[in-house]
Chain A
Amino acid sequence: MEDAAVVVDDVSKVFRLYHERNQSLKAAVMRRGRAKYTELQALDHVSFTVPKGKTFGIIGHNGSGKSTMLKCLARILRPDTGTVSTFGKVSALLELGAGFHPELSGRDNVYLNGSILGLSRKQIDARYDEIVSFAFADSGQEDRIDTPVKNYSSGMYVKLGFSVAINVDPDLLLVDEVLTVGDEAFQRKCADKFLELKDSGKTVVIVSHALGTVRDLCDEVALLDHGKLIAIGTPDEVIDTYMGGVETNVRRDGEYGSRWGEGGAEINRIEVLNGGLEPIERISLGQAAVFRIHYRCERPVPKPVFKIEFHTLNGMTVAAGNTRFHDRVPDMIDGEGSLEYHVPNLLLTPGRYDVSVTLFDYEMLHPYDCRHRFHRFEVTGGLPPDVDGVVSLDGTFHGSMLPEQTWYRT
C-alpha cells in the first residue's frame, strides 16, 4: 500500500441517538447507566483505499454516512471497528474558521488557526502574505487583518478560514460540501486552488451533493448508502448507479434531468419568457430573457434560497445566481408562488442549454428540491454575431482601417 494516501479498513460507526439527552450524573445513576437510545449504524463495515495524488469523491444522499466517513478520516470521530490510516499531513475543511477567537485580530487568528491545523510559526510566517492576499486581495480589505475578527462580515470570516486551511499545504485535503460559501468570485478561486493542489500531486477527498462538481473534479468516486459502500469506481459509473439507484432519493427528472431533495417544498416548473414577459420557444443571443420559477410549499419554509444555473449540454455550468448572494432572501414563503430571474442581454452563443433550479435552506447545504438540468432551451444567433465558444463577451472591434460597424443592438 505504498502509494495509498488513505486506507479505510472495515470501518463501522454506530451513533447512539438518546431519546432524552440528559448529561447528568443523577440521570445516569437512576437508569444505572442505561440511557434509552436508538442505535444508528452510520457506517457499516466500509473499506476502500484512496491512491496518492487522486481526487476522490464520496457521494450519497443525506444520512448515508458520507460526512461521518470524512470525520473518521479527519480523526474527529473514532470508528467503533476497523481502522483508518492516512499518510502525510492532513488538513480538513469541515468548518472554516473553526477556532477563530472573535476578540483577537485576524493576524492572531491566522497564527492560531494555522497551528491548530499543524503549522509551525515559521511555516505560517512564510505563508502569511499569501494567506492574507488570497483571502482579501480581491476586495481590498487587507488592512483589516489587524482588527478583531468579530467585526468581519461572515464572508470575510469564511474567506480567511479557507485561506488558512488551504495554505496548510496538506498531503491530504478533506473537503466537506461546506465549501459552497463565499461569493462566486471566491468560489472560482477556491476551485482553481483545488486544481492546483490536484496538479501538484496532492490527494483530495471531497464529500458532496453536487454531482456536477464531483464529475468534473474527481478521479474516483465512492457511493455510500445507509452506511454501506454501494459502489466505487469512475465518476460516471458511480454517479449513474447513484442516479439509477432504487434506494437513493435521486430520481430522473424528465428526459435528461435528475431531481433530489428533502421535500417539503418543490420547484414546479420554469417558464422562459422574452423581455415583454411573453412565453417564447427560442431566445436570440443578446436579447432580454426572463426565467419564471414556480414553486409550491407544503409547509412554511423559512429563509429559502433559490438558485438558478445554466449548463451546456455536456454538463459544464456556464453561469449561476442565487438569491442569497443577491441578498434577496425572504423571511418565509408558504403556499404557491413564483419569482423571476431577469437577464437583460442573454449572451450565450447559439446552441442548446439546460437550466437547473434549486430551492435551498439558508445555509445552502440541504436542498428542499433540486431540479438538475430539468429544462432545456435554445439560443439562436443574434447580436453580437458571435457563434463560437459558450458565451459572447459582447465585445466590438475598433480600428481606423476597419469599415464602419453595420449592426447595432437595440
Chain B
Amino acid sequence: MSKLSEITATRELILNLTLRELRSRYKRSVLGWAWSMLNPLSTVVIYTIVFKYFFHAQGPVGRPSGLKNFSIYLFCGLTAWNFFNASINGAMGTLVGNAGLIKKVYFPRENLVFATVLSSVVSFLIELGVAIVILLALGNNVLPWIPVILLLVLLETIFVTGLGLIVAVANAYFRDVQYLVGSILLQMLFYLTPIVYEAKVAYDATAGHPVLRRLYTANPTLQFVESFHRVMYDLRWPTTSNFVYLFVASGISLVSGLWVFNRFDGDLAEEL
C-alpha cells in the first residue's frame, strides 16, 4: 500500500519520463512525428497488397454498418495490436535501458514501465484518430462510439501495464525474455489474433474442436481486437462476455503485475 501511495506521489515523474520518451522518439528524423502515422499506414498498405491482392482477402461486411473494406478492417485491428506490441517491447527494454538511472537514483521503478506504456498510448490515440477520420470518410459514423473506444483504450492500457511490469522485471533477470517474447511469442500472437484475417476463418477451422476454439478465443489480444472491430468497424457494442473478459483480464493483469514487480524490484540495481 505504501508503494501505491509512493507511485501516486511521483505521478509528475511518470509524466516527465513519458515526455522524455515522446520528445526523444523522433528526434533527429526529418519527418519527426509524421512517422507515427506513416508507420502504421505503410503496414496497412503492405498487408493490403499481400493479403488482399495475393490471397484475395475481402474483409468482412460490418453489421450493422454495412462497411466492406479490407484495409480499414485491418487498420482497426492493427492499431489495437500495435499498442499492445509497442508497450510490451517498450516495457521489456525500459529497465535495461535505464540501468544507469536505476543504479544511481531511487524512485519507484514501476514508473519507467508506466512511462513507456503511456508514451505508447499517445501513439495509439494518434492512430485511432487517423482511423476515425478514415472511417468517417468511408461513411462509418463512429463519433457516438468514441466513449466506448476510450473505455477499451483504458482497459487495454491497464492490461498491458500489468503484463509489461512482469516482462520488464523478467527481462532484467533473464535477457532471453526479450528474444523469446519479442521475436517469437509476439509474432505467434499476431497471427493468433484476427488482424490480417477474420475471426470467422479461425472459427470455421476449429469447428469440430471445442477445446482448440476455447483456447483460441481465450487469447486476450483477440478479445481486444475483436472489441475494437465491433465498435469501430461494425458500429455495435462488444458482447457482454467480451466486456467481462476484458475487465477481469485487465484487473488480474495489473494486480499480478504490481505484485510480481514489487516482489523482484528490490534487487534490480544489482541485477542490471
A interface residues, Cβ below 8 angstroms from B: 15, 23-26, 28, 71, 74-78, 90, 92, 94-95, 98-99, 101, 103-104, 108, 111-112, 115-118, 120-121
Contacts and interface: CB of A to CB of B under 8 A. Distances in A.
B245 interface: no
Nearest to B177: A25
B176 A25 contact: yes
Contacts of B19: 108, 112
Interface string B1-38: 00000000010110111011001100110000000000
Given A26-B176, A28-B174, A112-B20, A120 B12 contact: yes
B20 A104 contact: yes
Given A71-B269, A76-B106, A78-B266, A103 B10 contact: no
A115 B105 contact: no
A76 B103 contact: yes
Interface in B97-123: 98, 100-107
A95 B10 contact: no
A337 to B, nearest CB: 36
A121 B27 contact: no
B271 to A, nearest CB: 8
Interface string B149-176: 0000000000000000000000001111
Given A112-B16, A116-B13, A121-B12, A92 B175 contact: no
B24 A23 contact: no
Contacts of A104: 20, 23-24
A368 to B, nearest CB: 26
Given A15-B270, A99-B101, A75 B16 contact: no
Contacts, number: 79
Looking at A26, A76, A112, A121, which has the most chain B CB atoms within 10 Å of its CB? Answer: A76
13 contacts: A23-B271, A26-B176, A74-B105, A76-B105, A90-B106, A92-B105, A99-B98, A99-B105, A101-B24, A104-B23, A115-B13, A116-B16, A118-B13
B102 to A, nearest CB: 8
Contacts of B267: 78
A116 B101 contact: yes
Contact of A23 (B101, B105, B173): B173
B174 A76 contact: no
Contacts of A115: 10, 12-13, 15-16
Nearest to B266: A78
Contacts of B177: 25
A99 B115 CA distance: 14
B174 A118 contact: no
Nearest to B24: A103
Contact of B106 (A24, A92, A95, A101): A92
A317 to B, nearest CB: 28
Nearest to A77: B269
A117 B104 CA distance: 11
Interface residues of B, number: 32
B118 to A, nearest CB: 14
Interface string B237-271: 00000000000000000000000000000110111
B17 A112 contact: yes
B106 to A, nearest CB: 4
Contacts of B104: 76, 92, 94-95, 98-99
Looking at B12, B174, B177, B271, which has the most chain A CB atoms within 10 Å of its CB? Answer: B12
Given A24-B175, A92-B104, A103-B27, 19 more contacts: A24-B174, A25-B177, A71-B269, A76-B269, A77-B270, A92-B106, A94-B105, A98-B105, A99-B98, A99-B100, A101-B20, A101-B24, A104-B23, A108-B23, A115-B13, A116-B107, A118-B10, A118-B107, A120-B12
Interface of B: 10, 12-13, 15-17, 19-20, 23-24, 27-28, 98, 100-107, 173-177, 180, 266-267, 269-271
Nearest to B16: A115
A92 B20 CA distance: 22
A116 B105 contact: yes
B262 to A, nearest CB: 12
Contacts of B27: 103
A79 to B, nearest CB: 9
Contacts of A75: 106
B101 A98 contact: yes
Contacts of B173: 23
B16 A111 contact: yes
Contacts of A95: 100, 104
Contacts of B16: 111-112, 115-116
A121 B20 CA distance: 15
A23 B13 contact: no
A103 B28 contact: yes
A3 to B, nearest CB: 24
A77 to B, nearest CB: 6
A126 B232 CA distance: 46
Nearest to B175: A23
A117 B177 CA distance: 30
Contacts of A23: 173-175, 271
Nearest to A111: B16
A118 to B, nearest CB: 7
Looking at A15, A23, A74, A90, which has the most chain B CB atoms within 10 Å of its CB? Answer: A23
Contacts of A120: 12
Nearest to B106: A75
B181 to A, nearest CB: 12
Contacts of A77: 269-270
Nearest to B103: A76
B94 to A, nearest CB: 13
Nearest to A28: B174
Nearest to A76: B269
A360 to B, nearest CB: 22
